[in-house]
Chains A and B, each alone.
Chain A
């Protein structure tokens, strides 16, 4: 069930065996679908899939260590208690977690990190187009429809190929997380602070995507599924979620966020119905968060984090992690989970496997200049 240090060796073994069917498949228009869900704000992988078996974990996390408490997936990892449905997918062999992973980006700016995650470049802003747009040029069906569930087209989907975006007109109102930032922004401004405090007090707070028991998130998942349904539906779908930047009060906030994510993924699967068998969902974030809890019950910008692969053809029920450990000497720059698996090579491998593409070409096109080889064996043949 569990691949950790054995991962790279096993991946290499699979390289040759899948080559022939891949070519055969390339001629036909694809029914395969890809959903890329970006967690903007650096989601805490160490809380989402907690290494409860690591001896250093409880000490580092303090009060946050109690966050886990969900499904124990193996001797090392416990899934967050808010991810009940996702745990079910894992048990069904349809969910694969990749831990201690990161893009090539090593600093800790959200913008720069998201830019690298989306462009597939080595450095922030060294490319204008996104890897998802370049993927279209590799697909057997070059007219495959690509859609962002968003009012504007995010970087990951921008580029030469025609793409579109869709957003329901009744988008959720400003998120509480954003409103908190506004509160901080106005803190030193006497006039705006007074006006804002009054406005917030007198207004019923709009419900956040993740804080209304997941109803908003489930609706988004259902909407995405409906836009991907049928022969004319989107083949590539980009989704975004915010609110992951949990510097303070992480316990409740992250639980709400993950409740929303769990509902969104479940609604997506339910909505896709039989097409779920041909769908790959990738969930990723720009980087992880600090190994230790900070002074405000939260975590700060880190490095290594978690990515998830889900879908009917994902070789799931596994956790891929070349686990570096959490003892002080093992931490990246003495504070972060050390990234041991290149995220871009996970994405390249999963996508190549899913669409039946040549892995080297896929890696080179989506993540040019990338170090290493696309991981194989992530998708069932």
Chain B
């Protein structure tokens, strides 16, 4: 691959029809730092997390009401048969599904038209690193707001700020059960204990912070560190949701609830933290954010994303050093990535994920927005529904997860569908623009021999070049 093709495809989201091929690939990437818009109008016009929390609370109340009604009506047979289309207890949540679909469309449309495709790629990278998944019903409506509010504004900042924004976001606190974690010796913990209620610690978020978000699995922390971090984080919760008046907080959104915070000093990775309340957890996270194991973990994931499934140690070392030296300054790390030789290797390094392939094809044909046929459902069929990786570990970033026979067949079918719905264009010329200096002879021949312009475009969208980056 020539370097402009590497910049467009491996660093960016694929060339866009009608846009000039970058003449100076590295400069083109660096210039995007100043072009990225963290809060575009399409995002700010969507409902923010406080409104979504209220909407979730109302849906939950409606669901409970239905449950109570059913319980009361149990004695009598129902007059009308239940509608089969949706489980009755899920109907109140339908509006939140619509919110999800709209937010997913906004995410896609931003990626299709962005002046900063490399930075958008980093948004997707971090959203996957700090994954929330909508298979948990509380996450459905708010998953988009999580990315828009916690990830986007911090993608060009310090890793520590990104980490704090993520761990304080209601979506993360709800997804990984932190919102309901109660310090056993907190004010409320003691009250609960006296009443015989079991309210206590939930370690879920604390463990994933250490294992997934910062240090990385098997990097030297132990169960004691997990428990201590979980204790430190008690009180990080979401207002506006709880039934108990004491836990409703000042309003819907992140809230530090002192009454459930476990009092006392904490010891994590051998270091003592004697801060009070919220500042304790924050201090631990700030230390974790610049820990050498975190630097190595992040450097490895970035190297895997940009150089090879099996990341070259030289690149990992270079990124790790940049991370540590700059105190986790993300633009510094990105710059080190752009300046390193490894990500510029000529042969395609990565098999595109369904998400990446979808964006590359739609950008390639110049689609201004997500066409109706490419809604979330199409991404479901391709195997990667937006914000639904199914686990806090996010989607896997290696070829074996994506390069399957059926997955490839589906891409070919979608390629033909997109091509049939695209106004006639010269795919031969487009191919040279999307993969400048990097188009293979077999692909060029296949396009030239196609029997129609639509077929040539379909072949281009399904070509080996398009399948990889």
Contacts and interface: CB of A to CB of B under 8 A. Distances in A.
Interface of A: 40-42, 109-111, 114-115, 150-155, 158, 167, 171, 173-174, 177-179, 181-182, 184-189, 191-192, 195-196, 198-200, 202-203, 242-245
Interface string B154-189: 000000000000000000000000000000000000
Contacts of B453: 111, 114-115
Interface of B: 351, 403-406, 408-409, 412-413, 416-417, 420-424, 426, 428, 440, 442-443, 446, 448-456, 458-459, 462-464, 467
A261 to B, nearest CB: 15
B450 A181 contact: yes
16 contacts: A40-B452, A42-B451, A111-B453, A111-B456, A151-B420, A152-B423, A152-B454, A153-B423, A174-B416, A181-B446, A188-B440, A189-B464, A195-B404, A195-B405, A198-B405, A199-B408
Given A110-B451, A196-B409, 14 more contacts: A41-B451, A111-B453, A114-B452, A150-B420, A152-B420, A155-B424, A158-B424, A171-B420, A185-B464, A191-B351, A192-B464, A195-B404, A196-B412, A203-B409
Nearest to A38: B452
A171 B462 CA distance: 19
A242 B455 contact: yes
Nearest to B426: A111
A185 B442 contact: yes
Nearest to A109: B448
A182 to B, nearest CB: 6
Contacts of A174: 412-413, 416
A185 B420 contact: no
B451 A182 contact: no
Contact of A178 (B404, B421, B458, B467): B458
A151 to B, nearest CB: 4
Given A111-B426, A151-B420, A182-B462, A191 B450 contact: no
B405 A188 contact: no
Contacts of B422: 152
A243 to B, nearest CB: 8
Nearest to B446: A185
B451 A184 contact: no
A244 to B, nearest CB: 7
A128 to B, nearest CB: 11
A189 B468 CA distance: 12
B456 A192 contact: no
Contacts of B351: 191
A150 B454 CA distance: 11
A192 B420 contact: no
A322 B354 CA distance: 55
A203 B420 CA distance: 22
Contacts of B404: 195
Contacts of B459: 181-182, 185
A131 B118 CA distance: 43
